[in-house]
């Protein structure tokens, strides 16, 4: 695809818009020791040019998000200098940031390990936030639900980033051990509910800046469907997100605040648990019906019964398989 304006027009004709632009600066052999943090200036230049090209693509397609994830890191102590790598990263990102037009947001994703196993350059939300604060207001943190160590309180991270006006968006998935990229809400649905609880609370805040930040958060399903069929898996993901949001909206925020102020530990927690345990499926079916969904009671069952998956599989049997190329 060379004519990105035509791509934007085609998407518009379908009633769609182009989402985030994601530069790939991790697959080429040149990036074996990193991209923006690589010790070789030529490799850093190559990565920079690729990201600058993606800024242009965002402008041509009307995208409002430049989504950045880097595999940069080291596998062994002494392999490279931590502070020098940090400086290289900041210099590259600053150049890309300066090239961004108004309205385009840079979202900086983090990951504690993999493929780097000793030191990842963007290793947690703190270094991502620090980097964004240095860059400017158009730089925000992207939270991937799978990119956390065991036991991390993701909803607290979300609350802090919202409070700082730096929560850019989410990659929704779920994890059992690390970056498993499972269907969102499939392993820890309570965590998903609590995350939406922070978002709902921010949207209902008396602080205008907090409300605006929460309403501007970008959402994406970033999952790897290896054994399950992809379209049914995505439908299941959307249904899980809807359920988590609906339950979060049921929380009586005024009563919760009162119990928090009174030090009523059990009472405050019970409000959350009661909302989480509420069966919201009838409510969601009612909402889908109001929106004109043809099968509001059971969208996944309706899709399975339609035979569409088998139809497109047969039609594409001789096609070219998707891949990294």
Please report the pLDDT score of residue 1 as a whole number.
60
Give residue 325's pLDDT band: very low, low, confident or very high (50, 70, 90).
Answer: very low
**Domain residue spans of the chain:** 4-230
CB 167 within 8 A of CB 143: yes
Among 33-42, 168-177, 256-265, 307-316, the least confident range: 307-316
CB 135 within 8 A of CB 89: no
pLDDT at 74 over 50: yes
Please report the pLDDT score of residue 138 as a whole number.
98
Q: Which CATH architecture is the domain 4-230 placed in?
A: Alpha-Beta Barrel (3.20)
**DSSP for 68-119?**
E----EESSTTSS-HHHHHHHHHHHHHHHHHHPPTT-EEEEE--SSSS-SSE
Which tens digits make up the pLDDT trace of 16-30?
999 999 999 999 999
How much is the mean pLDDT over the chain? 95
Give residue 82's pLDDT band: very low, low, confident or very high (50, 70, 90).
Answer: very high
The total number of residues written for the chain in this structure: 325
**DSSP for 284-314?**
HHHHHHHTT-SSSS-HHHHHHHHTHHHHHHH
CB 26 within 8 A of CB 114: no
Please state, in angstroms and rounded to a whole number, the distance separating the CA atoms of residues 180 and 250.
Answer: 30
Which tens digits make up the pLDDT trace of 83-135?
999 999 999 999 999 999 999 999 999 999 999 999 999 999 999 999 999 99
The average pLDDT across 67-88 equals 98
Please report the pLDDT score of residue 323 as a whole number.
58
State the CB neighbour count (10 A cutoff) for residue 218.
18
Using omega within 30 degrees of 0 as the cis cutoff, is the peptide bond preceding 115 cis?
Answer: yes
Give residue 162's pLDDT band: very low, low, confident or very high (50, 70, 90).
Answer: very high
Which tens digits make up the pLDDT trace of 264-317?
999 999 999 999 999 999 999 999 999 999 899 999 999 999 999 999 989 988
CB 43 within 8 A of CB 29: no
CA distances from 306 to 288, 299, 309 (A): 18, 11, 8
CA dihedral in degrees (203, 205, 211, 215; nearest 10)?
0
């Amino acid at each position: 695809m060379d004519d990105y304006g035509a791509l934007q027009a085609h998407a518009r004709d379908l009633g769609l818009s182009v989402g985030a632009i994601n530069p790939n600066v991790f697959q080429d052999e040149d990036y074996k020791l990193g991209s923006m943090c690589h010790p070789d200036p030529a490799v850093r230049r190559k990565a920079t040019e690729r990201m600058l090209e993606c800024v242009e693509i965002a402008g041509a397609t009307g995208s409002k998000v430049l989504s950045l994830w880097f595999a940069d890191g080291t596998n062994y102590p002494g392999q490279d200098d931590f502070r020098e790598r940090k400086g290289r990263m900041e210099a590259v990102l600053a150049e890309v940031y300066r090239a961004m037009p108004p309205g385009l947001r840079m979202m900086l994703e983090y990951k504690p390990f993999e493929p780097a196993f000793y030191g990842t350059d963007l290793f947690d939300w703190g270094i991502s936030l620090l980097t964004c604060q240095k860059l400017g207001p158009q730089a925000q943190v992207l939270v991937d639900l799978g990119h956390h160590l065991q036991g991390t309180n993701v909803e607290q991270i979300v609350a802090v980033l919202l409070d700082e006006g730096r929560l850019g968006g989410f990659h929704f998935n779920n994890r059992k051990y690390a970056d498993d990229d499972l269907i969102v809400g499939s392993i820890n649905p309570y965590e998903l509910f609590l995350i939406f609880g922070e978002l709902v609370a921010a949207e209902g805040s008396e602080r205008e800046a907090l409300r605006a930040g929460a309403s501007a958060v970008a959402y994406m399903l970033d999952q790897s469907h290896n054994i399950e069929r992809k379209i049914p898996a995505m439908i299941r993901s959307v249904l899980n997100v809807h359920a988590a949001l609906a339950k979060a909206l049921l929380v009586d925020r005024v009563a919760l605040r009162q119990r928090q102020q009174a030090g009523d530990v059990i009472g405050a927690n019970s409000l959350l648990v009661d909302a989480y345990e509420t069966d919201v499926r009838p409510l969601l079916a009612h909402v889908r019906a109001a929106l004109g969904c043809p099968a509001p009671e059971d969208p996944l069952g309706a899709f399975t019964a339609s035979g569409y998956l088998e139809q497109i599989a047969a039609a594409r049997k001789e096609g070219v398989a998707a891949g990294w190329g």
